[in-house]
Amino acid sequence: MTAVGFIGLGIMGSPMAGHLVAAGHHVTGFDVNRASVDRLVAAGGKGASSVAEAVREAAVVITMLPNHPQVEQVVLGEDGVLANAASGTLLIDMSTIRPETSIAVATTGVERGVRVLDAPVSGGEAGAKQASLSIMAGGTEADFAAAKPILEVLGTTIVHVGRHGAGQVVKAANQLVVAGIYALVSEAIVLLDASGVDAKSGLDVLAGGLAANRILDLKRDSMIAREFTPGFRIDLHYKDMGIVLDAARQSDVALPVSGLVAQLVAAARAMGYGSLDHSALLKVSEQLAGRS
Amino acid sequence: MTAVGFIGLGIMGSPMAGHLVAAGHHVTGFDVNRASVDRLVAAGGKGASSVAEAVREAAVVITMLPNHPQVEQVVLGEDGVLANAASGTLLIDMSTIRPETSIAVATTGVERGVRVLDAPVSGGEAGAKQASLSIMAGGTEADFAAAKPILEVLGTTIVHVGRHGAGQVVKAANQLVVAGIYALVSEAIVLLDASGVDAKSGLDVLAGGLAANRILDLKRDSMIAREFTPGFRIDLHYKDMGIVLDAARQSDVALPVSGLVAQLVAAARAMGYGSLDHSALLKVSEQLAGRS
Amino acid sequence: MTAVGFIGLGIMGSPMAGHLVAAGHHVTGFDVNRASVDRLVAAGGKGASSVAEAVREAAVVITMLPNHPQVEQVVLGEDGVLANAASGTLLIDMSTIRPETSIAVATTGVERGVRVLDAPVSGGEAGAKQASLSIMAGGTEADFAAAKPILEVLGTTIVHVGRHGAGQVVKAANQLVVAGIYALVSEAIVLLDASGVDAKSGLDVLAGGLAANRILDLKRDSMIAREFTPGFRIDLHYKDMGIVLDAARQSDVALPVSGLVAQLVAAARAMGYGSLDHSALLKVSEQLAGRS
Amino acid sequence: MTAVGFIGLGIMGSPMAGHLVAAGHHVTGFDVNRASVDRLVAAGGKGASSVAEAVREAAVVITMLPNHPQVEQVVLGEDGVLANAASGTLLIDMSTIRPETSIAVATTGVERGVRVLDAPVSGGEAGAKQASLSIMAGGTEADFAAAKPILEVLGTTIVHVGRHGAGQVVKAANQLVVAGIYALVSEAIVLLDASGVDAKSGLDVLAGGLAANRILDLKRDSMIAREFTPGFRIDLHYKDMGIVLDAARQSDVALPVSGLVAQLVAAARAMGYGSLDHSALLKVSEQLAGRS
């Protein structure tokens, strides 16, 4: 059993830390929100009152944080993970952040004798609760092998996709395809509706051919019903589209469709739909079509 | 067994007419290309030397033509289908054309006592050869019921999606989603490549999550190998994106992502990739990313 | 003085025909709307009760019609201009239509001994009334020279831009730039407003530098005041963006920014702003920004 | 005469500092590149070997730096401007950076008793050399009034556009309109060329009507000649489009056309045109149109 320091016990981190406790690991958790720490203690973990305390005795440190500024502060900051972790510690950053920051964390980690993986996840809150996350990891083969037993407690698909930052790039690619398909399905629904064609019949046909995709499978009924309970919130996908564009800048490529879709996700948020499911991109398409 | 007039014996129409012959129907075929007619005769059908001749004795007429000008000429023209078909004939137009023309054909048909369905297909040349097409039909319930035994000879998924023109609208919705997903997968590949991440590993992860789609399943290996043998040609998808935008105009809706994707398909054609598979949209994305 | 047949006496055609009368030409006008013909008669012109009658005695025929279907009917139709014009007549089609149709009209005209120019205008209703239109003409040098004295009665900038259809292409290029600048200025206003910066001060700076443009000069005050009385209606610019995309298809080029802007103009119309000035594109930008 | 500390003596900063010397101010300059400092000394200024030295005796400090990380380091950093400036100093940051950083600099400045203006410029290298810059300033009225005599040495249009950050927002709005107009003019040229219409004649017409803009005036001849010597480099406009999108995120608005144009500018850079003039956006449009 491993001594795990777990930092970031939010909607995702809390059930993840719980699974590690249940699997017999010695988990010491920290969060700026004390109630989250208490919940971990109630579940059989140990509470820490600082990053330093959570990290000091750990063989593995997991961070699950909102975005790159938090990672920069918690990991690279003055009293952060790298300043307090013992040499040889394995840091698995499971936050979804821009690849650039993951690479910077890994570089600094190596300088201080800390091994680093970026390992963002997909599958959302449900995947975290059911320990069915997809995990895409970037870093060395050896560090991935070392992390694997821990990651297998949290997810079902665990893939080593390349060197430092690669996990984030794959996550970004995933998020651009997901947002884009939502936009396309939304335009399809708008076109069907406006043409007086039953959207359900139409999408059923699409789902049976080359246009088939998981979003059609899982979400077409709720989209047709205009039911947008999250799921994965527009606000989070908005953040992720920012990462997509950052990653594109970092690698010096142009992504015109992603650039447009990012603005439509921004529109959904600006229109006040930030806390709805990302399928609410349909509301933007409808508004542009004068159908709302 | 039914007397079928079949007009348009090209890449799609030829195998379709062959299946009808094989199923025991009495098929009289016409095409401007005499060799195509000869092929049908060799397969056991009858050849006609004009639209009029193909249509005169038929209970069911099928048209499978390149685009709306051909349908206007062959069906609505002076010596066309409607001018020659007996009252009560059922015309099934299986061409992919803009909904507007399908509605005009149906309106004129009704005036002349001819029943009309629009019934475009997806599945391409392979689907036509294997009689595994998806067929989306617009028109009345009764006419759809009458057509169904014939259509079942040609395809495996046969759906009545609404009134006249609805088949074309659903086909348009299908094509916009397909082209859009190609564009998104292309941008994902470009981002992975440019970031130094193995595209195969990356897309494997995408195919296991919410980004999963049939194009990833069927085409990711060939796209990564830059293998673009058609399949369905860019030139045809270019034509279809024109129909998508026509349908949007007709229904007075705005489709911004489709509007951009249509231009990228046009770019693929302008760059000289018209006769490659539609997955060659990747070549446009690569060029925009300075990676070609 | 010239015998002029003038067909299409609408918002644009009516004052244009009036100027020709005032300049001493013998103008015989026709319109499907009889009141428009009466108005011309009151102004000193002659009224015709058919295209044929307006055309028969004319040395020059001018057509000013809504779009290509009307031109096809009025010019190419059975009892249309080409069927009735004397050999050697000069037909100046001043309608804004797709280049493809202008070329078809010219080709047919030549076959029948009628000389043809496409000569669309910009400057709108105000320009028609003040005889200050910009006129961009396509056709032969000789025909342009012959038309020039007539065109100089109607406009101030009269340019021969190339062969048949070239006038329409230049008009399309004009309209894509105009709509695009409206979209850009709209996004600038939205950004300034949302950032708490006074839009007037901001746009004043823009108008003094490389971003300077006539739309900023003429329309920034009314846009900031959200005053959208036409001017040139969204519905007309929507039609023109259709011509832009048709022209692009015809010449086999891709225009991604125009493709997106066309959809935003379509959105303005779909949202119900069709009869507002084209500067009302700002309302779409605001809606996408959650600021309306 | 004022004691001015000037930090950042690059292509822009060097001639600007020279003008201040020529106007009689006591300028102490610093740059990481020693040769730049030597040039200032040769022109009659004083050289400093650190930020601290340049700032210590100054009543006004001007910073002209590449982007926000440099401003963060030079202004906010440990031995930076704010750490060394005397209380009451006026800091004029003339760098083009994201509004967010300008606001942070102003907030920190106020805490330390330093008055701050953001005052980005347009007009490029030529404007810097000819002291004809446009300067858009954000900050308090009083600080703007105090800065004005200094700014008047550097530019001809000097406008106070609002509170802290407002200068950057206006600059961002300017850059989005400029890049967008380049994209539109490029698409117009591509359409004219591909349609066989002389681009020069066509653009001349556009320049005489509602599509008129300064870019057409200044750049249409060089664009038609495919002459792309900078001027203002694609690489810099690429940086500025990043600021546009950052500003949009900061203010929670969606800018779809800007989002697409930003990707086209990124494409120009990815294709290797980063050191050409921004009018080289035409090369992207041509490539998309298969015309290169």
What value, to the nearest 5°, has the Cα angle with vertex D18 and ends D14 and D22? 175
Supply the pLDDT for residue A120: 98
User: What is the dihedral sign for C-alpha A78, A79, A81, A85?
Assistant: positive
Which one is catalytic: D46, D129, D171, D200?
D171
Tell me whether A202 touches chain B (CB under 8 Å): yes
d(CA B81, CA D34): 85
Chains adjacent to D (≥3 CB pairs closer than 8 angstroms) = A, B, C
Distance from CA of D242 to the nearest CA of A (A): 9
- Considering only alpha carbons, which residue of chain A is nearest residue D239? A249
Instruction: Give yes or no for a contact between C66 and C136, defined as CB atoms under 8 angstroms apart.
Output: no
A258 touches chain B (CB under 8 A): yes
Report the distance separating Cα D211 and Cα D220, nearest Å: 13
Chain B environment of C245 (Cβ under 8 Å): 245
**CATH number, domain at A269?**
1.10.1040.10
Question: Over the stretch D231-249, which tens digit does the pLDDT of each residue have?
Answer: 899 999 999 999 999 999 9
Per-residue pLDDT 10s for chain C (292 aa) are 899 999 999 999 999 999 999 999 999 999 999 999 999 999 999 999 999 999 999 999 999 999 999 999 999 999 999 999 999 999 999 999 999 999 999 999 999 999 999 999 998 889 999 999 999 999 999 999 999 999 999 999 999 999 999 999 999 999 999 999 999 999 999 999 999 999 999 999 999 899 999 999 999 999 999 999 998 999 999 999 999 999 999 999 999 999 999 999 999 999 999 999 999 999 999 999 998 8
Q: Is the pTM for the entire model greater than 0.80?
A: yes
The answer to whether the peptide bond before residue D231 is cis (omega within 30 degrees of 0) is yes
- Same domain for B236 and B188: yes
Three-state DSSP at A291 gives coil
Structure tokens at C185: 């200025």
C175 and C112, same structural domain? no
Q: How many domains does chain D have?
A: 2
Query: Do D288 and B284 count as a contact with CB atoms less than 8 A apart?
Result: yes
Is the preceding peptide bond at B231 cis, omega within 30 degrees of 0? yes
For the beta carbon of residue D119, count every other beta carbon within 10 angstroms.
33
| A/C interface, count of CB pairs below 8 Å | 34
Q: Is C10 helix (H, G, I), strand (E, B) or coil?
A: coil
- d(Cα C224, Cα C204) in Å, to the nearest integer? 12
- Test A270 with C256 for CB contact under 8 angstroms: no
Of C252, C254, C262, nearest to B264 by CB-CB distance is C254
A236, A134: one domain = no
Residue A95 φ/ψ, nearest 5 degrees: -65, 150
Q: Are residues B147 and B191 in the same domain?
A: no
**Residue C124 pLDDT:** 87
Task: Using alpha carbons, list the distances in angstroms from residue A248 to A158, A259, B81, D176, D248.
Answer: 24, 10, 54, 19, 18
pLDDT of residue C231: 86
Domain extent, residue C186, equals 169-288
Regarding whether D261 and D184 lie in a shared domain, the answer is yes
A188 and A150 in one domain?
no
Selected residue of D263, D287, D291 to mutate for chain B interface (largest B Cβ count, 10 A): D287
**Quick check: A270 and C284 CB within 8 A?**
no
Instruction: Determine the distance in angstroms separating the CA of D278 from the nearest CA of chain C, rounded to an integer.
Output: 12
Residues 6+ apart with CB under 8 A from D213: C177, C181, C212, C213, C214, D181, D185
Q: How far apart are CA B110 and CA B103, in angstroms?
A: 11
CB burial readout C165-204, b (16+ within 10 A) else e: bbbbbbbbbbbbbbbbbbbbbbbbbbbbbbbebbbebbbb
Q: Are residues A95 and A191 in the same domain?
A: no
> Do A175 and A158 sit in the same domain of this protein?
no
Distance between CA atoms of residues B51 and B83, nearest Å = 10
**Which one, of B235, B229, B276, lies nearest residue B66 by Cα?**
B235
Confidence of residue A292 (pLDDT cuts 50, 70, 90): confident
Three-class SS of chain D: CCEEEEECCCCCHHHHHHHHHHCCCEEEEECCCHHHHHHHHHCCCEECCCHHHHHHCCCEEEECCCCHHHHHHHHHCCCCHHHHCCCCCEEEECCCCCHHHHHHHHHHHHHCCCEEEECCEECHHHHHHCCCEEEEEECCHHHHHHHHHHHHHHEEEEEEEECCCHHHHHHHHHHHHHHHHHHHHHHHHHHHHHCCCCHHHHHHHHHCCCCCEHHHHHHHHHHHCCCCCCCCEHHHHHHHHHHHHHHHHHCCCCCHHHHHHHHHHHHHHHHHHCCCEHHHHHHHHHHHCCCC
Given A249, A252, A264, which is nearest D254 (Cβ)? A264
Say which residues have a Cβ less than 8 Å from residue C221's Cβ, sequence separation at least 6: C200
Say how many CA atoms lie within 13 Å of A86 toward its Cβ: 12
Q: What are the phi and psi torsion angles at A194 (to 5°)?
A: -65, -25
Which run of H or E residues covers position B255? none
**Among all residues of chain A, which has the CA nearest to that of C272?**
A290
CATH number assigned to the domain comprising residue C151 = 3.40.50.720
B: neighbours with 3+ CB pairs under 8 Å?
A: A, C, D
Residue partners of C158: CB distance under 8 A and separation at least 6 = C134, C135, C137, C148, C151, C152
Calpha distance B124→B101 (Å, rounded): 22
Secondary structure element (H or E) that encloses residue B22, with its range: helix B13-22
Give B-chain residues touching C248 at CB under 8 angstroms: 266
Judged by CB atoms closer than 8 Å, whether chains meet at B270 and C260 is answered as: no
Q: DSSP labels for A233-245?
A: BHHHHHHHHHHHH
Please give, rounded to a whole number of angstroms, the shortest distance from the CA of D223 to a CA of chain B. 20
> Residue written as tokens 């060394």?
D84
CB-CB neighbors (< 8 A) of C180 in chain B:
none
Distance from CA of B89 to the nearest CA of A (A): 25
Residue D64 has what pLDDT? 98
Tell which phi-psi region holds residue C139, choosing left (phi > 0), alpha (psi between -120 and 50) or beta: left
C-alpha closest to that of C63 among C36, C33, C99, C93: C93
D157, D158, D170, D182, best to mutate vs chain C, most C CBs in 10 Å: D170
State the Rg of chain A over Cα.
20
pLDDT band at A195 (very low <50, low <70, confident <90, very high): very high
CB-based contact C122 D210, cutoff 8 Å: yes
pLDDT attached to residue B292: 81
Bin C33: left if φ > 0, else alpha if -120 < ψ < 50, else beta. beta
Tell whether C13 and C154 lie within a shared domain: yes
Cα distance between residue D160 and residue C15, in whole Å: 46
What's the pLDDT score for residue D54? Answer: 97
Instruction: Give the pLDDT of residue A124.
Output: 87
d(CA D30, CA D28): 7
Residues D260, A262: C-beta atoms closer than 8 Å: no
A141 and A237 assigned to the same domain: no
Could you give phi then psi for residue B7, rounded to 5 degrees?
-115, 120
For residue D268, what is the nearest residue in chain B, using CA coordinates? B288
Mean of pLDDT values over D209-223? 96
Q: Each residue of A28-74: pLDDT tens digit?
A: 999 999 999 999 999 999 999 999 999 999 999 999 999 999 999 99
Interchain CB contacts (distance < 8 Å): C and D: 248
Clarify whether residues B156 and B38 are in a common domain. Answer: yes
**CB contact, 8 Å: C288 with chain A?**
yes
CB–CB contact D263 A252 (8 Å): no
Q: D170 vs C213: CB contact, 8 Å cut-off?
A: no
Pairing relation of β-strands A121-122 and A133-138?
antiparallel
Whole-angstrom Cα distance, residue D246 to residue D267?
Answer: 19
The minimal CB distance from B289 to the residues A161, A177, A254 is found for: A254
Task: Note the pLDDT of residue D225.
Answer: 98
SS3 category, B134? strand
The alpha carbon dihedral of A241, A246, A248, A254 has a sign of positive
First to last CA, chain C: 55
The reply to whether omega before D123 is within 30° of 0 (cis) is no
Q: Which of B162, B190, B208 is the last residue of a domain?
A: B162
Q: Are residues D183 and D148 in the same domain?
A: no
Q: How far is CA D214 from CA C68, C206, C222, in A?
A: 33, 11, 21
Q: What CA–CA distance (Å, rounded) separates C223 from B257?
A: 27
Q: Which residues of D touch B290 (CB under 8 A)?
A: 267, 269-272
Nearest by Cα to C137 from C145, C127, C129:
C145
Write out C174-188 in H/E/C secondary structure: HHHHHHHHHHHHHHH
Please tell me which of the candidates D177, D196, D288 has its beta carbon nearest to residue C162.
Answer: D196
Domain boundary among A144, A162, A180: A162
Quick check: C161 and C138 in contact, CB under 8 A?
A: yes
Q: A240 to chain D: which residues are within 8 Å by CB?
A: none
**Chains with 3 or more CB pairs under 8 A to chain A:** B, C, D
Catalytic residue from among B46, B148, B171, B200: B171
Rg (chain B; Cα; Å)? 20
Q: pLDDT at residue A262 above 90? A: yes
Helix (H) / strand (E) element for B61: namely strand B60-63
Mutate to test the interface with A, among C187, C234, C287, C292 (most CBs of A within 10 A): C287
- Looking at D162, D195, D214, which one is the last position of a domain? D162
Give the pLDDT confidence score for residue B124 in this predicted structure.
Answer: 87
Asked if the C-beta of C251 comes within 8 angstroms of chain B's C-beta atoms, the answer is no
User: What is the reported pLDDT for C274?
Assistant: 97
* CB atoms closer than 10 angstroms to residue D106: 24
Question: How far is residue B185's CA from residue C178's CA, in Å, rounded to a whole number?
Answer: 33
For C154, the token pair is 């109607």
Q: How far apart are CA C206 and CA D167, in angstroms?
A: 12
Residue B23 DSSP label: T
- The reply to whether A126 touches chain B by the CB within 8 Å rule is no
Residue A231 has pLDDT above 90, yes or no: no
Nearest CA in chain D to B264: D288
B50-84 residue pLDDT tens: 999 999 999 999 999 999 999 999 999 999 999 99
Rounded to 10 degrees, the C-alpha dihedral A116/A122/A125/A129 comes to -70
Task: Render A117-155 in DSSP notation, one character per residue.
Answer: EE--EESHHHHHHTT-EEEEEES-HHHHHHHHHHHTTTE
User: What residues 268-287 of chain B have any CB closer than 8 A to a CB of chain A?
Assistant: 285
